[in-house]
Every structure is written in C-alpha cells, then in structure tokens.
Amino acid sequence: MANFVYPKTQILVKETNVFHDAIQSVTDPTQMTCAIAFPANTDAAAKVYTLEVYTADVATGITTAVTVAAYVAPVEPTVEYQAAGVTADPANLTSDGGSTTVNVTFTAPAQG
C-alpha cells in the first residue's frame, strides 16, 4: 500500500490575507484539516470569507466560502402597562384656581 505524502498545505482567508496551516486528518489519511476561527459580525450585513487552498506555496484555485451571519440586535419584548386609575391632589381648588398634581396609576398586564 502506498504512503500518502502531502505537500505543505495552507488555507488562505482572502479577506484577511492570513494563511492557516493544515495538518493530516486523524480520521481520514487522505485529508488535511484546519480549524479557523472567524470574528463575531457586528455589521447589519452578513460577512462572506473566501478560503483558498495553497499547496507548496502555490494557489490551487480551489475555494470555498464561509458566511458569518448579520448581527441582529436582541429586542426586548414590549409590555404596555394599562392605566388603572387617576388622582388629583388637591382635588378641590378655591375660586382663585391654582395648581394640582395629577397621578396616573398603571398596572402591568397579565403575562401568559
């Protein structure tokens, strides 16, 4: 049986121009493997990274893409409180008029 001999194999992330070394797969002797971490995407649009295989420092033209999804800000659910009552203090003013403080009381709706 023939021994597989691999040329130096690297993966280029074209958008960052960073090379990552590949190593022989433990589970399949006919494959090379490489783990690449991509940064979180804080943009509203998805980010696509193009990966290209290099062997013996030569581009092979073999590519694939990895897409990091667009960032979507978490949205807290909106709970609208219900007006439950109103008071005025003082509620009675003299014939000269005056100021009163009005307080509106709210209650949270039942959550299901």
Burial category of 22 from C-beta neighbours within 10 Å (exposed 0-12, middle 13-18, buried 19 and up): buried
* pLDDT value, residue 2: 66
| 39 upstream amide cis, omega within 30 of 0 | no
Query: In whole angstroms, what is the distance from residue 54 CA to residue 49 CA?
Result: 16
Q: What is the pTM of this model?
A: 0.64
pLDDT tens digits for range 23-33: 988 888 788 89
Q: According to the per-residue pLDDT averaged within each range, which of 1-10, 20-29, 52-61, 100-109 is highest? A: 52-61
pLDDT tens digits for range 65-88: 999 999 998 888 888 888 888 989
Measure the CA angle with vertex 65, ends 42 and 61; round to 5°.
140
Q: How confident is the model at residue 104 (pLDDT cuts 50, 70, 90)?
A: confident
Cα 10 to Cα 20, 21, 27, distances in angstroms = 5, 5, 19
Q: Are 89 and 101 in contact (CB under 8 A)?
A: yes
